[in-house]
């Protein structure tokens, strides 16, 4: 178990140290809404302080507007929780992204998730324009360049990855290129397909990508069948087998079954060679993520300060 006083002394580096250490690193997504307050952020930080090493801060997913990642990251760090903000290229040009990176560095943020971002839904309520001034790889390179500046802390940079049935000759050119640009950990989509995950991890080893990256697998507890069906439909890369949907649908208490399913899958993923961490995207119920971690018998081992 990681020493709690070491990781909480400097919350801005807790996720990096956990992910590169011998134990399984855990992170949970901060649940944000347009009406979220500073008190809401601090309350979630308190809930997860003994359960995860960091909280990831979303960047207006599916163009649902909420407080900025910089503001939320500052609140999390102030509450003693490491923050891993996600920045995407959809809503900002190069100048705005560089400004945000400088601001995050000044706050003491060390770990980042960087990506291109999803396009706005066609019939979105906000008539906003997409930007895409940079590609995801260019954003990674921009953050890495900042890390090269003398006297500044290095960013620990993450990028997205897709679990899939990779062929024997899969060379993972995109992941290799992003590694060369500066990415150091990869994070998958939500994956309940353990057989496919094992296959993909074997291909990562064959491609020698586990030498370049720490691997984080995403998993989330579903409060009900409707939520699982929505995620499979709207987040098309999510890997949610029919067996999961059937088990939820057959359960008398779908919420409890969702927690149990997540806990069982978490234990199985934790035992897989090549996995360094697990991330829990939010479905709006942070209490269920906490319950799944507890049911799996896992946690960061921290003591609240």
Whole-angstrom distance, CA of residue 273 vs CA of residue 61? 31
Can you give the pLDDT at residue 114? 98
Buried b (16+ CB within 10 A) or exposed e, 272-281: eebbbbbbbb
74-94: per-residue pLDDT in tens? 999 999 999 999 999 999 999
Q: Is residue 302 part of a domain?
A: no
On whether residue 301 sits in a domain, the answer given is: no
Task: Note whether residue 78 is domain-resident.
Answer: yes
pLDDT of amino acid 252: 98
Q: Rounded to an integer, what distance in angstroms lies between the CA atom of residue 295 and that of residue 287?
A: 12
- Residue 9: the pLDDT is 55
Domain membership flag for residue 304? no
CATH of the domain at 109: 3.20.20.220
What pLDDT, on the 0 to 100 scale, is given for residue 145? 94
Residue 92 placed within a domain: yes
Cβ neighbours of residue 281 under 8 Å, at least 6 residues apart?
Answer: 29, 190, 218, 220
Give pLDDT tens digits for 143-169: 999 988 877 778 999 999 999 999 988
Note down the domain range covering 28. Answer: 4-296
Task: Output the pLDDT for position 128.
Answer: 77
Inside any domain, residue 165 = yes
- CB count within 10 Å of CB 215 equals 22
Does any domain span residue 36? yes
Block means of pLDDT (10 residues each) for the chain, 305 residues, are 45 92 96 96 97 96 88 97 96 96 95 90 72 96 90 89 94 96 98 98 94 97 98 92 98 98 98 96 97 88 41
Q: Taken in order 18, 142, 218, 107, is the CA torsion positive or negative?
A: positive
Q: Does residue 117 lie within any of the structural domains?
A: yes
- What's the pLDDT at 192? 98
pTM: 0.92
Number of domains observed in the structure of the chain: 1
For residue 150, give every residue at least 6 positions away whose Cβ sits within 8 Å of its Cβ, in sequence order, or none: none
Cβ atoms of 126 and 34 within 8 Å: the answer is no
């Amino acid at each position: 178990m990681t020493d709690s006083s070491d990781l909480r002394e400097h919350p801005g580096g807790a996720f990096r140290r956990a992910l590169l250490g011998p134990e399984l690193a855990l992170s949970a997504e901060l649940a944000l809404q347009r009406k979220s307050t500073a008190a809401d952020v601090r309350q979630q930080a308190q809930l997860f302080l003994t359960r995860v090493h960091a909280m990831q801060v979303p960047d207006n997913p599916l163009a649902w507007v909420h407080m900025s990642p910089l503001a939320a990251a500052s609140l999390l760090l102030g509450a003693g929780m490491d923050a891993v903000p996600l920045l995407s290229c959809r809503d900002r040009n190069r100048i705005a992204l560089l400004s945000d990176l400088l601001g995050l560095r000044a706050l003491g943020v060390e770990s980042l998730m960087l990506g291109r971002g999803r396009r706005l839904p066609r019939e979105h309520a906000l008539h906003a324009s997409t930007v895409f001034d940079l590609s995801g790889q260019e954003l990674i390179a921009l953050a890495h360049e900042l890390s090269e500046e003398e006297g500044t802390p290095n960013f620990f940079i993450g990028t997205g990855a897709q679990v899939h049935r990779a062929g024997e000759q899969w060379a993972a050119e995109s992941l290799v290129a992003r590694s060369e640009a500066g990415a150091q950990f990869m994070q998958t989509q939500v994956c309940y397909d353990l057989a496919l995950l094992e296959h993909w991890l074997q291909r990562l080893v064959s491609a020698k990508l586990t030498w370049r990256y720490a691997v984080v697998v995403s998993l989330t507890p579903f409060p009900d069948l409707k939520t699982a069906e929505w995620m499979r439909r709207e987040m098309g890369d999510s890997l949610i087998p029919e067996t999961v949907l059937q088990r939820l649908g057959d359960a008398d208490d779908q919420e409890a079954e969702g927690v149990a399913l997540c806990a069982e899958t978490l234990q199985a993923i934790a035992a897989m060679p090549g996995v360094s961490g697990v991330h829990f995207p939010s479905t709006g119920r942070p209490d269920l993520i906490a319950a799944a971690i507890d049911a799996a018998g896992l946690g960061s081992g921290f003591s609240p300060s």
